[in-house]
Structure formats: structure tokens, C-alpha cells
Chain A
């Protein structure tokens, strides 16, 4: 209700603040105009909200670098519209992870900014559950470069009751993502575990939206593909160890183990304990643990002997394999002196490119929130650095490829192959 009032107020103020000399449209953000030639001009604000502290900071800082690179290449402009970008941190040092209050504060800040049209974020699906309803009420587009939880966009198996409608109080879709949802990731993981000869897969999850959602999807996909799952246990992330649980898996003769969760939620201790109890078991993880802070012993991640048995999936593939991947790596290296950017950098880059092209593509309405949303959901067969994709009516990308990573000699996740879900 308050959000609706704010939104209405923002729209009202916007109309008043517009340049009277041009053909303005109603609900154009303050400070923006549209010219008679059909393209918008003025200034819009675009934000990102990502956990810049804690275990995911390597990925999220790379994303911010990617966002800035895309913006710099465009000269901070989308056609005649100037873009003012601001990076927000949705984590706190205390939590070492995303923080519900911080996510809410960021979303409210964006919602109250009359010039804002889009937020790039969140990194964690649980965080999006908090920010999405706030931004949805005022009609601000949210583009996630990393969320995979099914229930944010669909009511497919793996989602919870009432999802996704509960995140859209305005009853209009305002959220899009450029990574495939967990229905795809879960299917890909099951396919890989079957290929690797897993006979009895034990699972654990961190009881968070993303982790519990992913193991739920894997359970469903495993049934479809005939893979034996012997259990899915919600762990207490701050437990001193998980040896009792690991010893139970030994008794159940598990030969493969999967954890749905993020590094910050006890992942290092859990994988070590499972490896101690089941030294030959193959270990798998989703994108929540597919990062150097987890895999690299030099960064106090899992030891090399555990890393040898570990594989994980991320929506990113080998950067060089993307249509514009090599050019992106060169540009990134030139800008940041980093020839091997984190794979997530390209998702930050593409998210900002999508924002820029959406503003341009929407013509005179590109600077209004409604115009931006309309153009975003009209994205069809877009040629991007990630390949050709569309945004469907739910806000999901049509991309389906998942990258399989193992732990390379340098201890970092190293691209191994592309996997597609069977069935």
C-alpha cells in the first residue's frame, strides 16, 4: 500500500518535473524527456544490489566490473539517455552474506528514486524474495544475473505454494533473469550424476530458498530420469561439524553427494566431513559453491584431495566459447588488467547491455518505467555475448546450457564441458 502510494507520488512528481519544451509521456521519470524524433533523452538511474562482502565477493565484484565495462563502452548513454549507475551492497560484514534488512533498505532506496528504471540483482534468490515485491509495487524492472530459484518466475515443481504470484503484488511481471532457472540446472546435475555412474545419491541443503529449492528440483528430476536419491537433509549451517550426518551416509552406502546451498552456510566443513566418512564418494555442488573461495585451498577453501572429487555447475560456460567472449575478455583485460575474469563478470556485463539496449529499443518510452518493462519483456532473439536468447512472459531466459566445472590445478573452478538436462 505504502509502496503503491510512493509509486503514484513518484509518477506525479515526475510529470511535474518534466521538461516542458518536449513531448513528454506520462509517468516518465523526473529529469527525462522524449524528443519529437521518437528517442528519449534525459537521465535515468540504474542500480545493482549484490553481496559485495563474504564468500561470494569474488563473483559479485567481477559482476560490478562487468556492469561498469558495459556502461563505459556505451559512453554511459543509451541513445540520448544518460545512465547514472550506482552499485549497492546487499550484504553486511556481520552476516558475511546477504542480509534481509540490507536487501530491503536497498530496494526501498531504489523505489524512492524517481529517476530509477532498473535494478540489476539480486545475486541470491532468497534476497530477491525480499526486494522483488518492493520494486514490483512501484513498477521498477529487476534483472537478475544469477538467481536460479524456480518459484521466482514459475509455479513449476520445486516452487512453493503461492509462488510466484506472492512476489508480484501489482500483478504485473517486473522481474527477468538472464541465467536458466533451477529446473534446468537440476536436470543438468542429474544428467551428469547419471553419466558419472552414481547409484545412491545423498543430498543436503542449507534450508535457504536457493539451496532447498535446488535439492527439491533435483529430487523431482532424479525420479524422472531414474536416479536413486537416498535422502535430502536440511543442515544447521552453523553447526560445529557434520560428522554424525556423514557417518549416517556411510551407513546408507552413498556413493555420490550433493549439497544445495552457498559456501557461507557451512559448505566447507560439510564436504570435508562427507569426504572423511566416504573417501571415494563423488561430490557435487550447484552454482552456490562453484567459486574459488570454496574450491581453492590457497583461499582456505576445501583441501585438494576433496577438490579432486568435486564437480559443480554454473550457468556460465567457458568465456571464450561465447559469441562475443574473446572480445569481452580482451576488453576486460584492457580495463582491469585481468586476463582471466571470473565467469560471472560476463553476466554483469550482459545485464547492463540488456538495460542499455532496452532503453534504446523502447524509443520514446525507454526512460519511463512502464516503457522499459514493456521493452524488456518484448526481448526476442537477442544477439548477446551469452548467445541468442529471448525473455519469456515469466521473465525467464530461453538459454538452457549449463557449464560443468571441476577444480583446476590452480585450485579454481575450471570449465570442463557444457551439459544439457535430459528429459
Chain B
């Protein structure tokens, strides 16, 4: 057995750089730099631009179909965004992927569905009664899911604060199954149709051939104010600052007199409340609920949080909206069976170009 001869390809790679060899390397670097700077944008815009050109040059002749895709996508995406906020807040503060969060959202949807029936909201309820009833449902649902999330944190995560990271992760998976079974016992195993209280498909306004429906107004109209209020709360309030301090360094925060346990509970409360709001919007917008909807929704929302930059509030919202649009484009233009493949293909592309997510992660490691 002699020393093996170097492989020609490796030998070429490891050869001292000559001016002749340096030229292509510089070109590669330039391409790589260009790609890292603009590749993500090009990738994100590829589908809408392609379909836009296709519509303009094809029998469609205008961009109304693309516009409709974008509106429906943003509406769907705003629901994912609200769920993603819960994932990102919790991950940011205790670095836990809260697998039970999708199921808290499911319980929110079931609570909203049941409560609207309990207070007698039907298809013939007048606009005033409907607005009041739905507002009351929103408050109740947010209280239920917020309290549920705090309870989960108190019972399942807090006792494991000092345990290896895998312990709370498994506990989260366990709680996810418990909540699924609660949903199963509560409303049964099959998909349930929710009365179309808001007449989600009725057109409110038509913008350049793009219909904006009741469902879109509800989804975007509830999400935007909630996100603005939440952002203001976290950036400006004393409690919000405590949350950010705890996220950055819990020990230092404790030395500054911040009650870390209370701050973490508050984070779970806010995340749970957002999931509850998402549950109500989902039930009214999609008009059907099922006990296992939390798994798929949780997966998508967690993907949104990673896509936007885990731990980053704005990133979670942006990730949710981007996924909503990609899903809609894939469903409408490519085929329903390809939706997951396209969404996760985009996630991989974003991770390659920007491993820290679209806006950048805000975790202890990332700073």
C-alpha cells in the first residue's frame, strides 16, 4: 500500500493561486456576492414576477388574478403570522420550540366556534349584534387561550427550567397530544363546518379587478392592529422592556430586579392570546375546524417564525405573510399537491441565502 496519488480535482483546488487561476475565482466571488445580496430577493420575487408576465402576455391580459392571489395569500398569511408570534416570543425568551402552541390555537378555534353558538350568533344575526358578539368572542377566546398557555408553562415548562433542553421539548410534544385529545373529545373526530357568520366571500370593494372580501377585511383588519399594539407594548412599555431583557440575559435581568418567572408567564400569556385571536379568525375565515388542525398550522407558523428570523416579532409577521402568499400561488397556479413542497423549497432557499432569516434572528446567541 503506497501513498495514494492526489486526486486531480483536489490537486487543482489546492494548487497555489496563480494570476491566471485567480481571475475565475474573483468572478466566482463576485457572482457569489451578487447572489447573496440579491439572490434572496430574486428568489422571492420569482414566482409572482413569472406569473405576472404569464398573465399579461396570456389570455388573462391583466394582473387581476395575480392581485387576487396576493390578497388571499396575505389574508391566510396574517393568520399564520398571529400564530408565529407565539412561537417566536417563546423561543426568544426561553429558547423552547413550544410544540403545543399549534394546539392552543386549535383550542382557540374550538372555543370561538362553540362560544358563537352559545351566545346565539347565527346567519341571520344583524350587523351590530354580530360585531358585538364577535368582539365578545374575541375577548373570551383570547382569555381562554392566554390562560391555557400560562397554565402549560406553569405546569410543564417551569419545573424544567434548569433541565437539559430536550426535557421541555418532549414535554411540549406531550402537551400537544394532550390538547389534541381534548379537542377530539370536545368536538369529535371529523372536520366540523363553522357557520359563515361574516359571509366571508361577499365582496366589500373591488380594487382594479381584485375583489376584497369580508374574510380578507376580517383577517387583515384584526391582525394589523393586534401586531401594532403588541409591537408598541414590547418596545415601549416597562414590561415589554423586561421581556426583552429576560430574552437577552435572564441572569442579568434578575440582577436588575426583574421577576423573570412572571415575565416568562406574561410572554406565554401574550403568545396564547395571539393564538386565540388567530383561532377565531381561522374559524370565521376558513369556515371549518378540526381537532388535528393545530399540527399543520403549528408547523407552518413555526416555519414562518424561522423564515422571518426566530425570536424576531416583525420577522414572524413577515414570514407568515410570505408563506401565505407562496401557499396561495402554489395552490392556484401549480397544484394543491405541490403546496408543501414549494413552501419548504422556499424555506430552504431563504436559509441558504440568509441563515438568520429574512429580518434576522433575535436570540441569546444571535444577540
Contacts and interface: CB of A to CB of B under 8 A. Distances in A.
B36 interface: no
A303 B189 contact: no
B286 A241 contact: yes
Contact of B337 (A93, A236, A241, A268): A236
B76 interface: yes
Interface string B95-135: 00000000000000000000000000000000000000000
Given A263-B190, A301-B193, A268 B336 contact: no
A236 B339 contact: yes
Interface in A24-60: 53-55, 57
Given A94-B184, A242-B331, A272-B287, A302 B292 contact: no
B336 A245 contact: yes
B91 interface: no
B195 interface: yes
Interface in A264-298: 264, 266-269, 272, 276, 293, 297
Most B Cβ at <10 Å: residue of A55, A240, A267: A240
Interface stretch (B64-72, B241-249, B257-265, B302-310): B64-72
B193 A276 contact: no
Contacts of B330: 244
A55 B190 contact: yes
A369 to B, nearest CB: 35
B354 interface: no
A412 to B, nearest CB: 15
Interface string B191-216: 11111100001000000000000000
Given A240-B76, A245-B332, A94 B287 contact: no
Given A55-B190, A93-B189, A303-B193, A240 B296 contact: yes
A408 interface: no
Contact of A53 (B65, B79, B189): B189
A332 to B, nearest CB: 25
Contacts of B293: 238, 240
A316 interface: no
A236 B189 contact: no
B336 A239 contact: yes
B87 interface: no
A233 interface: yes
A268 B184 contact: no
A12 interface: no
Contacts of A300: 187, 192-194
Nearest to A262: B190
Given A233-B337, A239-B336, A97 B76 contact: no
Contact of B335 (A95, A233, A243, A303): A233
A207 B295 CA distance: 20
A300 B117 CA distance: 12
B69 to A, nearest CB: 7
A54 B201 contact: no
B184 A235 contact: no
A87 interface: no
B331 A272 contact: no
Nearest to B184: A93
A172 interface: no
B157 interface: no
Contacts of B329: 244
A251 interface: yes
A108 interface: no
Contacts of B337: 207, 233-236
A3 interface: no
A263 B191 contact: yes
A93 B181 contact: yes
A84 interface: no
B297 interface: yes
Interface in B261-302: 282, 286-288, 290-293, 295-297
A300 B290 CA distance: 11
Contact of A293 (B190, B194, B286, B292): B190
Given A93-B189, A244-B72, A244-B328, A236 B336 contact: yes
Contact of A267 (B189, B191, B192, B291): B191
A241 B76 contact: yes
B17 interface: no
What secondary structure prevails in chain B residues at the interface with A? Answer: helix
A244 B69 contact: yes
A247 B194 CA distance: 21
Contacts of B65: 251
B180 interface: yes
A248 B189 contact: no
A248 to B, nearest CB: 5
A96 interface: yes
Contacts of A93: 181, 184, 189
B340 interface: yes
Contacts of A269: 191, 286-288
B288 A268 contact: yes
Contacts of A245: 331-332, 335-336
Contacts of A240: 76, 79, 282, 286, 293, 296-297
B314 to A, nearest CB: 23
Contact of A244 (B79, B201, B286, B336): B336
A182 B331 CA distance: 29
Contact of B189 (A55, A244, A266): A55
Nearest to B180: A94
B55 to A, nearest CB: 11
A245 to B, nearest CB: 5
Contacts of A239: 296, 331, 336, 339
B193 A297 contact: yes
Nearest to A300: B192
21 contacts: A54-B190, A55-B189, A57-B189, A94-B177, A95-B189, A96-B190, A96-B290, A234-B337, A236-B337, A238-B292, A238-B293, A239-B331, A240-B79, A240-B286, A243-B328, A244-B69, A244-B330, A244-B336, A247-B72, A264-B191, A268-B190
Interface of A: 53-55, 57, 91, 93-97, 204, 207, 233-236, 238-245, 247-248, 251, 263-264, 266-269, 272, 276, 293, 297, 300-303
Given A236-B336, A244-B327, A245-B335, 17 more contacts: A54-B189, A55-B191, A94-B180, A96-B188, A97-B189, A236-B340, A238-B295, A240-B282, A240-B297, A244-B330, A251-B65, A264-B190, A266-B191, A272-B193, A300-B187, A300-B193, A301-B193
A-B pairs with lowest CB-CB distance, top 7: A244-B331, A96-B189, A244-B332, A55-B190, A300-B192, A54-B189, A269-B288
Interface of B: 65, 68-69, 72, 76, 79, 177, 180-181, 184, 187-196, 201, 282, 286-288, 290-293, 295-297, 327-333, 335-337, 339-340
